[in-house]
């Protein structure tokens, strides 16, 4: 597997006080075939429903153009033509910022009239010179394009002017919190927690902006997208004995050679690894729970659990939230899954005859099915990169 970057994207929004819907729109999309991630933030003129329509039209169009690699100047003309024109200001008003990142590191940022993005590398905010373009048709609007090669630990932050103008009119911030205020805040947060997830950072920025406002009421839509480039945190999930016993050695080698965290889910599977790698596996009694079999510890392996019941429960909690004690095997599995960016599932397909016994008091899922449900959820809802191998 290549050692490309993983891109962790998070966003947070607060609508203008008194409005029912967001006037800003955020839309992010991964295009796995092209190893590319696109994230767009658009701010519609005004607030509420009208702004919402303007900004969502803009993001949708922009996403489509980006995906199709349409020339940007051309596409922005089309967008400006398509949007309704403000009667007073005579402009079709929705601003946008677009980040288009390739996992190998090339990133381009397109901006029109939003506050400038923030780019952070080595705990400093770097100003990157962008090139300005404008269309002969819409002379008073210009688009700035910047390009950079991203490295692990870089961060990009997009925001609507609700962030930079937060507190406007407030005695302490007559001109608003400002972009610099936001940069200072982000840097101090990163000092406290250098690996903070994008989601948490975006939320913190928006909440901080809100705290600057008079009576903590948002005077405008406040939105933030945070993007965090990092070396992927890898996890191998091994579950089930291989159909063919000759493969036992192969899965043991995978465990021995894997360059990331490892979880083994299944009694027979752990027996195989224990035997093949001559490791000792011991029950961890602190994980006792009446519904989920206890976890075990094995040297070099981050988690060892029972199979089907634990996986089924982990799936349930991925959907409904964690509701058991932190030491319980299934909770530990969920936390490992959520803390990883790229998860490699290796699924043994041997059917356990005992599980098909009608006298069992409950129905047991077939391993393949439950694993499929888990990885689909991790992909769609948690944007994890997944690979699956059946043996």
Partner 1 sequence: MEKVKVKICCGTSCFVMGAAQIQVLEFAPPADIADKIEIEEARCMNHCKDTTAKYNRGPFVMVNDELIEEANFEKVVNKIREILNQEK
Please tell me whether residue 352 binds partner 1 under the rule CB under 8 A: yes
CA distance 200 to 215: 23
Question: According to CB under 8 A, which one of 364, 383, 386, 388 is a site residue for partner 1?
Answer: 364
Q: Which is nearer to partner 1, 20 or 291 (CB)?
A: 291
Q: Which is nearer to partner 1, 17 or 289 (CB)?
A: 289
Q: Which is nearer to partner 1, 285 or 376 (CB)?
A: 285
Least distance in Å: CB of 252 to partner 1? 16
Please tell me whether residue 7 binds partner 1 under the rule CB under 8 A: no
Please tell me whether residue 283 binds partner 1 under the rule CB under 8 A: yes
Question: According to CB under 8 A, which one of 355, 368, 372, 373 is a site residue for partner 1?
Answer: 355
Least distance in Å: CB of 273 to partner 1? 12
CA distance 315 to 312: 5
342: helix, coil or strand?
Answer: strand
389: helix, coil or strand?
Answer: strand
Q: Comparing C-alpha atoms, which of 201, 158, 164, 197 is closest to residue 182? A: 164
Strands 36-44, 94-102: pairing kind? antiparallel
Q: Collect all residues with Cβ–Cβ distance below 8 Å to 214 and sequence separation of at least 6.
A: 167, 169, 170
Q: Collect all residues with Cβ–Cβ distance below 8 Å to 304 and sequence separation of at least 6.
A: 263, 264, 270, 281, 295, 296, 297, 298
One character per residue 242-281, x = contact with partner 1 (rule: CB under 8 A): -------------------------xx-xx----------
Question: According to CB under 8 A, which one of 174, 194, 321, 361 is a site residue for partner 1?
Answer: 361
Distance between terminal CA atoms of the chain? 19
Residue found under tokens 């493969």: 247
DSSP letter string, 46-72? SSHHHHHHHHHHHHHHHHHHHHTT--H
CA distance 290 to 197: 33
Q: Which is nearer to partner 1, 364 or 377 (CB)?
A: 364
Q: How far is CA 191 from CA 171, 178, 179, 185, 198, in A?
A: 28, 20, 18, 10, 15
Least distance in Å: CB of 321 to partner 1? 23
CA distance 343 to 375: 9
Please tell me whether residue 357 binds partner 1 under the rule CB under 8 A: yes
Least distance in Å: CB of 359 to partner 1? 4
Question: According to CB under 8 A, which one of 49, 128, 175, 360 is a site residue for partner 1?
Answer: 360
CA distance 232 to 215: 41
Q: Which is nearer to partner 1, 184 or 282 (CB)?
A: 282
One character per residue 153-192, x = contact with partner 1 (rule: CB under 8 A): ----------------------------------------
Q: Which is nearer to partner 1, 206 or 265 (CB)?
A: 265
Give the footprint of partner 1 on residues 287-326 (CB under 8 A). 288-291, 293-294, 306-309
Please tell me whether residue 74 binds partner 1 under the rule CB under 8 A: no
Question: According to CB under 8 A, which one of 285, 325, 376, 389 is a site residue for partner 1?
Answer: 285
Residue 53 tokens, joined: 């329509």
Please tell me whether residue 348 binds partner 1 under the rule CB under 8 A: no
DSSP letter string, 143-197? EEEEEEE--TT-EEEEE-HHHHTTTTTBTTBTT-SHHHHHHHHHHHHHHH-TT--
CA distance 263 to 316: 18
Least distance in Å: CB of 362 to partner 1? 6
Q: How many residues bind partner 1 (CB under 8 A)?
A: 27
Give the binding range for partner 1 (CB under 8 A) out of 5-13, 58-66, 283-291, 382-390: 283-291
Contacting residues toward partner 1, per CB under 8 A: 267-268, 270-271, 283, 285, 288-291, 293-294, 306-309, 352-355, 357-362, 364
């Amino acid at each position: 597997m290549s050692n490309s970057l993983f891109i962790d994207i998070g966003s947070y929004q607060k609508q203008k006080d008194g409005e029912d819907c967001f006037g800003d729109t955020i839309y992010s999309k991964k295009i796995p075939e092209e190893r590319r991630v696109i994230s767009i933030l658009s701010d519609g003129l005004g607030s509420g429903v009208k702004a919402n329509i303007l900004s969502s039209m803009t993001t949708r169009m922009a996403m489509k153009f980006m995906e199709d690699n349409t020339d940007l100047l051309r596409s922005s003309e089309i967008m400006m033509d398509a949007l309704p024109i403000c009667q007073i200001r005579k402009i079709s008003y929705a601003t946008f910022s677009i980040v288009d990142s390739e996992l190998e590191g090339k990133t381009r940022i397109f901006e029109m009239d939003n506050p400038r993005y923030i780019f952070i590398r080595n705990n400093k905010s770097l100003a990157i010179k962008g090139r300005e373009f404008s269309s002969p048709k819409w002379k008073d609007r210009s688009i700035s394009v910047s390009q950079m090669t991203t490295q692990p630990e870089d961060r990009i932050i997009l925001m609507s002017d609700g962030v930079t103008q937060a507190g406007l009119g407030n005695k302490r911030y007559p001109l608003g919190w400002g972009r610099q205020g936001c940069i200072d805040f982000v840097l101090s947060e990163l000092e406290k927690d250098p690996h903070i997830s994008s989601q948490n950072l975006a939320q913190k920025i928006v909440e901080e902006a809100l705290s600057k406002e008079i009576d903590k009421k948002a005077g405008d839509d406040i939105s933030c997208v945070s993007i965090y480039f990092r070396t992927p945190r890898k996890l191998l999930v091994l579950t089930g004995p291989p159909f063919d016993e000759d493969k036992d050695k192969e899965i043991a080698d995978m465990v021995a050679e894997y360059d990331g965290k490892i979880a083994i889910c299944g009694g027979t599977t752990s027996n195989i690894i224990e035997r093949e790698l001559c490791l000792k596996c011991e029950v961890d009694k602190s994980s006792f729970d009446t519904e989920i079999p206890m976890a075990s510890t094995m040297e070099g392996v981050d988690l060892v659990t029972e199979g089907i019941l634990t996986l089924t429960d982990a799936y349930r909690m991925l959907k409904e939230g964690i509701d058991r004690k932190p030491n319980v095997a299934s909770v530990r599995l969920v936390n490992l899954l959520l803390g990883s960016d790229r998860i490699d599932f290796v699924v043994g397909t041997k059917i356990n005859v005992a599980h098909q016994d009608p006298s069992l008091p409950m129905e047991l899922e077939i391993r393949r099915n439950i694993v499929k449900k888990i990885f689909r959820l991790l992909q769609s809802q948690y944007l994890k990169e997944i690979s699956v191998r059946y043996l």
